[in-house]
């Protein structure tokens, strides 16, 4: 058997008519930059997650940069985040000259440990960026409470969690600002780069819209130093075709995850834990194993692709050596990064495929 990790080709075939039609409309109109599809999509995205304003942009990385620019992050400022995430979370902080300050994760959720945040707050701290890793929201009540006590802004890095619920609210609407990515392999992906920023604050929304187009408030009048960070109209057209299917896809992803967890119970692997008051949109289904590298090779030979998100915590990355962190500073992140491994995850995995993947993992126990 040959398993496809994200199966974007099958997904395209399923929605081909709508996607092709939407792209063709853009081609016919040639409204490639800020075409009407952008505003239409933004309205639907904001309806979907409940935040008042959605602002489409060039990528998840652009979304984070726009959010940090919107709250005036400056050199010498400090922003608290997790070292167990994709590089963009901390990279965007550093690009603005501010200092990423890391806080270790929880061993159950792999998300930032809210109980360790307060001790890292200084006079220079301006914001907290919790990352809803693998699709599961963080402990947002605790994080928002700390932020309001110290007058900090919370920016949720929801690149992997668009659509997930925390209590009765959706990811991207859980704090002052939410940022997501439509990178093709994310739960809601477009066909290239794309992203969005969410907020219910009218002033911030206006500023983010202006920052997205070089900080201009009128054509060729630049109020802020901004970016060229627009979402392409063609990508908005793809998302408009895919969004109506997304709710159903989340359910299918949940079913796949449930089957994995059920079948992998009482084996040598540690399966993901989701808290009762939230759900995951399963950007990744990540298990923990000993002998990860050998298992990955073994599965690869059986036609099962796997991936590691993420093999090296950010405090150990060369680009952050100037922060002077050392091995041992974030023991949970370090431990998890050595054991974590993502299995194929997409809405279209069949029972037969899931069975085959699980049986292969179990047979490794015996070799
Ligand atoms: C994917 C991702 C990003 C960046 O999104 P891009 O669209 O690739 O720029 C940021 N943070 C996290 C946690 C991500 O997974």
Q: CATH no. for residue 162?
A: 3.40.640.10
Domain count, the chain: 2
Does residue 1 fall inside a structural domain? no
What secondary structure letter does DSSP report for 196?
A: E
Q: Please give the Cα distance from 8 to 354 (Å, whole number).
A: 18
Last residue of a domain, one of 188, 204, 239: 239
Same domain for 343 and 216: no
Asked whether 85 lines ligand 1 (CB < 6 A), one says yes
pLDDT score, position 307: 98
Same domain for 329 and 311: yes
Those residues with Cβ within 8 angstroms of residue 200's Cβ, 6 or more apart along the chain or in another chain:
51, 52, 53, 173
Structure tokens at 7: 């199966």
Q: Please give the Cα distance from 139 to 38 (Å, whole number).
A: 32
Q: How far is CA 83 from CA 91, 100, 174, 323, 338, in A?
A: 11, 9, 21, 12, 14
Tens digit of each residue's pLDDT, the chain (367 residues): 999 999 999 999 999 999 999 999 999 999 999 999 999 999 999 999 999 999 999 999 999 999 999 999 999 999 999 999 999 999 999 999 999 999 999 999 999 999 999 999 999 999 999 999 999 999 999 999 999 999 999 999 999 999 999 999 999 999 999 999 999 999 999 999 999 999 999 999 999 999 999 999 999 999 999 999 999 999 999 999 999 999 999 999 999 999 999 999 989 999 999 999 999 999 999 999 999 999 999 999 999 999 999 999 999 999 999 999 999 999 999 999 999 999 999 999 999 999 999 999 999 976 6
Same domain for 315 and 167: no
Same domain for 200 and 78: yes
Same domain for 193 and 65: yes
pLDDT score, position 367: 60
| Atom 2 of ligand 1, residue of closest alpha carbon | 159
For the entire predicted model, the pTM comes to 0.98
How much distance in Å is there from the Cα of 79 to the middle of ligand 1?
17
Helices 233-264 and 351-366 cross at an angle (nearest 10°) of 50
Q: Mean pLDDT for the chain? A: 97
pLDDT score, position 70: 98
For residue 193, the ligand 1 atom closest to its alpha carbon is: 7
Q: CATH no. for residue 283?
A: 3.90.1150.10
Q: Please give the Cα distance from 348 to 190 (Å, whole number).
A: 17
Asked whether 89 lines ligand 1 (CB < 6 A), one says yes
128 pairs with which residues across the strands? 80, 154
Same domain for 280 and 193: no
Give me the domain span that covers residue 361: 246-366
């Amino acid at each position: 058997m040959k398993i496809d990790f994200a199966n974007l080709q099958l997904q395209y075939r399923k929605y081909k008519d709508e996607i092709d039609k939407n792209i063709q409309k853009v081609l016919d109109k040639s409204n490639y930059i800020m075409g009407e599809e952008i505003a239409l999509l933004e309205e639907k995205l904001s309806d979907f997650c409940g935040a008042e304003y959605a602002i489409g942009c060039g990528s998840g990385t652009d979304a984070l940069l726009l959010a940090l620019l919107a709250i005036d992050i400056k050199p010498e400022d400090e922003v608290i985040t997790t070292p167990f995430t994709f590089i963009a979370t901390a990279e965007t902080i550093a690009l603005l000259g501010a200092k990423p300050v890391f806080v270790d994760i929880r061993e159950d959720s792999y998300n930032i440990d809210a109980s360790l945040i307060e001790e890292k707050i200084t006079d220079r701290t301006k914001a907290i960026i919790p990352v809803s890793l693998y699709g599961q929201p963080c402990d947002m009540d605790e994080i928002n409470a700390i932020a309001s006590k110290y007058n900090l802004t919370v920016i949720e890095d929801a690149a992997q969690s668009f659509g997930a619920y925390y209590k009765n609210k959706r990811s991207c609407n859980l704090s002052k600002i939410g940022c997501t990515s439509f990178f093709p392999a994310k739960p809601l992906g477009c066909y290239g780069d794309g992203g969005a920023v969410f907020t219910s604050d009218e002033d911030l929304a206006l500023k983010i819209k202006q920052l997205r187009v070089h900080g201009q408030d009128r054509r060729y009048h630049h109020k802020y130093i901004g970016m060229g960070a627009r979402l392409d109209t063609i990508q908005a057209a793809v998302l408009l075709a895919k969004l109506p299917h997304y709710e159903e896809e989340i359910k299918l992803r949940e079913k796949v995850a449930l089957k994995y967890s059920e079948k992998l119970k009482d084996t040598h692997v540690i399966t993901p834990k989701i808290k009762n008051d939230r759900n995951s949109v399963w950007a990744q289904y990540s298990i923990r194993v000993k002998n990860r590298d050998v298992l990955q090779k073994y599965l690869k030979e059986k036609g099962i692709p796997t991936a590691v998100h993420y093999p090296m915590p950010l405090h150990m990355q060369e680009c952050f050596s100037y922060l002077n962190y050392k091995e041992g500073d974030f023991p949970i992140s370090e431990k998890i990064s050595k054991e974590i491994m993502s299995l194929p995850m997409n809405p279209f995995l069949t029972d037969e495929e899931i069975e085959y993947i699980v049986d292969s993992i179990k047979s490794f126990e015996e070799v």
